[in-house]
Amino acid sequence: MTSFISGKVVVITGASSGIGEATAKLLARRGAKVVLGARRQDKLDRIVAQIKAADGEAVSQSLDVTVQAENDAIVQLALDTFGGLDAVFLNAGLMPNSPLSALKTDEWHRMVEVNVTGVLNGIAAVLPTFIEQKSGHAIATSSVAGLKAYPGGAVYGGTKWFLRDFMEVLRMESASEGTNIRTATIYPAAINTELLQTISDQRTAKGAQSLYERYGIAPDRVADVVAYALDLPPDTTVNEFTIGPANQPW
């Protein structure tokens, strides 16, 4: 059976833990060459070492997705190290949920910087290469909060609703322009990652922790979906995936 993952060069943001780490390891096992970015270089170094110990190919670089130059630099690392770029998985994100009445405005703006501006920066970094080669695959992590509203998640949900429109327009424009850039937006429900650690509002944090303890599943499940998207034939795209625990009513 033909594998469309083997040999692909994939940049992954938010790669130091959770969904990003699980995806990096899975894709490397499937023969992809992964380029990992996140703010915590020590964790990236550990993951790269583990991938290489299992005979995979990986490099990493410290990345703050809110800085355009750092997004450009990790794309250049992929080109310099592996000679190309086939896909980007825009996975970096923050979820410091709270009621609007709590007025945690610094957290609002930080979510917009990471969840929205970080995606814009990532796409801006890869588009020149994708357009020139007339191929590329952009995958982004949204959330079920990008499909329905939840109390406490007004700003977070807003950033994730943005992704739904942005990624779909990218797909439509590419199809019209003949640049063959495919997109996939993933909407996870309760996945056991570090997201809850960013919630400073104690009441919101307690509720989220209870929900995730009851329903949460492993980030490997999302990694499987990313691999599925990347393994589709070049003439096919599945542009949206909603994924979560089978027993969670969402």
Within-domain flag for 2: no
d(CA 159, CA 22): 23
pLDDT at 209 (0 to 100): 92
- Beta-carbon count within 10 A of 10 CB: 26
Within-domain flag for 191: yes
Largest CA distance in the chain: 55
Instruction: Kindly report the CATH number assigned to the domain that includes residue 87.
Output: 3.40.50.720
The active-site residue out of 156, 187, 212, 215 is: 156
Q: By the 8 A CB rule, do 194 and 16 touch? A: no
- Closest to 221 measured CA to CA, from 6, 18, 11, 2: 18
| Helix and strand numbers, DSSP H then E, in the chain | 8, 7
Within-domain flag for 103: yes
Would you give per-residue pLDDT tens digits along the chain (250 residues)? 678 999 999 999 999 999 999 999 999 999 999 999 999 999 999 999 999 999 999 999 999 999 999 999 999 999 999 999 999 999 999 999 999 999 999 999 999 999 999 999 999 999 999 999 999 999 999 999 999 999 999 999 999 999 999 999 999 999 999 999 999 999 999 999 988 888 999 999 999 999 999 999 999 999 999 999 999 999 999 999 999 999 998 7
Domain limits at 29? 9-242
pLDDT at 70 (0 to 100): 98
User: Could you give the number of structural domains in the chain?
Assistant: 1
156 is catalytic: yes
Within-domain flag for 175: yes
Within-domain flag for 248: no
Within-domain flag for 4: no
Within-domain flag for 250: no
**Global pTM?**
0.95
